[in-house]
Amino acid sequence: MDLKQSPKISNSSGRASNFHYRAVSNKLYTEAGYIGGGTENKFSFETRDFTGGNITAEKAYYTVYVTGSDFSGTVNIKCDGILSDTYTFGTPSAEFNRALYLATATVANRASIEFVDCSGQITSVAIKYDILAEQQKKRFNFVTVSYTGTPIVTVKVDSVEKIASTTLPDPGAGNTGTSLLYFPAMTEGHIPHIIADETETSRVSGSVFDAEVI
């Protein structure tokens, strides 16, 4: 399982007669202030492609991770240049830290993340994927999920829902919970995919699949 940080921004829709980058604050300034720093100075851009260093190899893309501060706007996830999933955050979040799950594990050679009409700051962008050729057929028994709060979790195998939407029990404020979610008997496939409906206080922190190669 690979988790890759975003490379440099490839383009931006920002327009100004003068741009100034200040390295000490890591901010790009225009006449109206720094990019993302005001309600009237929204920004849009798209990352370069996540390819894992080999654009010819097919991957299964699962989840995008975005961190930042005072962030709001729309995040589009694209696979092979085609829109896969869209997330919109209308209310700025002071400490933005979200996992954005693709509705289905998507097989593609490349993926990119597009930010549209955003404000605030983005600190990092990462994506989780597997190399498709390395995935073996398995029989799945259960998945162990670590979490905080009460996230709602669904599990698919090869794009087919196998564990229906489940609200995990609250482990208590400040605690990390662990739940075992069991697959139906004889669940077989290549690509398992967890989808979680998260908030700032309810989120999945890890998962481990119990399975054997067949």
Q: Give residue-wise pLDDT tens across range 71-107.
A: 999 999 999 999 999 999 998 988 999 999 999 999 9
Q: CA 88, CA 6: separation in Å to the nearest integer?
A: 20
CB count within 10 Å of CB 90 equals 7
**Burial annotation 126-151 (CB, 10 A radius, 16+ → b, else e):** bbbbbebeeeeebebebbebebbbeb
Q: Which CATH architecture has domain 2-132?
A: Sandwich (2.60)
Find residue 143's DSSP bridge partners.
Answer: 181, 209
Q: Which residues contact 23 (CB under 8 A, 6 or more apart)?
A: none
Place of tokens 């400040």: 174
Q: What pLDDT is attached to residue 100?
A: 97
DSSP H/E element including 128: strand 111-131
Task: Report domain extents, the chain.
Answer: 2-132, 136-213
- Single-letter code of the amino acid located at 173: A
Q: What pLDDT is attached to residue 42?
A: 85
For the entire predicted model, the pTM comes to: 0.79
Q: Which residues contact 38 (CB under 8 A, 6 or more apart)?
A: 32, 119
Q: Which two tokens stand for residue 161?
A: 């829902």
Confidence class for position 7, pLDDT limits 50, 70, 90: very low
Find residue 43's DSSP bridge partners.
Answer: 118
pLDDT of residue 150 exceeding 60, the answer is yes
